[in-house]
Amino acid sequence: MILLPAARHLRSVLAVLSALVLAACAGGSDPVAVAPSGPPPEVVAMYQSVQDGNYVIPAVDPGYLTGGNARQTVPYSGPDLPGTIVVDPHARVLYYVEEGGVATRYGIAVGREGRGFTGAAVVSRKAEWPGWTPTANMIRRDPEVYGPYAGGLPGGLDNPLGARALYLYRGGKDTYYRIHGTNNSSTIGRATSAGCIRLFNQDILDLYQRVDLGAPVKVRSLAESIAQEGEMVEGPSGLMLRMDSLPIEVQDQIRAGMTPWPPFVAQSGISGENSLGSAEALEAQGIVAAN
């Protein structure tokens, strides 16, 4: 069964109400059920617990390594040069483009702030176990929620930015668009109520060591996503499915009865074609992460 508009909207509202309200790149926390079937042992092995400095990153539950969530090497025919990070917030995947027509593909979770950015950027800052501080506007708007974090939330296992963060800049200015880890593996592959682009901590460790400062980043628009990935629709588990993998009658039902897809685009009111606004505008809205 595919969620139609009313059901999707209700689920979205419930998710927002129940989410951990750490906005911007602090990431939302929308728990979901573990899938009943698991991945092969070689995939599970990539996501065992990891000792990283003073921290032990927990293993990822194999139930979350379904669909396109697990890291793998795949053929890549896009126009992007080797060394480029390609983020597809609509198909909920991220590619690190390599030589020889291949790329490493990672499953991602996409938060509200990750849905308003398209185009080119560069990685101009990298951080291990990054901290997070709410903006002054966030604290003014919701003092009970953000006030306790006014002094900043230090990096660590409880920090929603996870083990690593890549900070994207455009024209020498911080875009406030982050690619980072997560302390909630259940969100990977899904749309969440807050945050930018997050990966399993094991995956952000892998990506982080591949990427140098100055690395180019391309964030696909909805049209670019369709051209490269095909039409996608959110299934009942919250993961994205190719439209052409569904029976024709189901495809017809979806096209006849739903608002523009992917579902989170319609729910958020974001067209997927707009570039991120200025840092000043985002600060005014209170949707930036200071660290």
Q: Which residues are catalytic?
A: 180, 196
Residue 42 CA, chain-centre distance (Å), reads 24
**Is the bond preceding 262 in cis, omega lying within 30 degrees of 0?**
yes
- Cα distances from 21 to residues 24, 100, 142, in angstroms, run 10, 43, 10
- CA dist., res. 176 & res. 11, Å (int): 28
Q: Which DSSP string do the residues of 126-156 spell out, in sequence order?
A: EEES--B---HHHHHH-HHHHGGGTT-B-SS
Are 197 and 114 spatial neighbours (Cβ–Cβ below 8 Å)? yes
Please give the order of strands across the beta sheet that includes 119-128. Answer: 72-75, 102-107, 93-98, 85-88, 216-219, 119-128, 164-170, 173-180, 197-198, 109-110
Largest CA distance in the chain: 54
β-pairing verdict for 93-98 and 50-52: unpaired
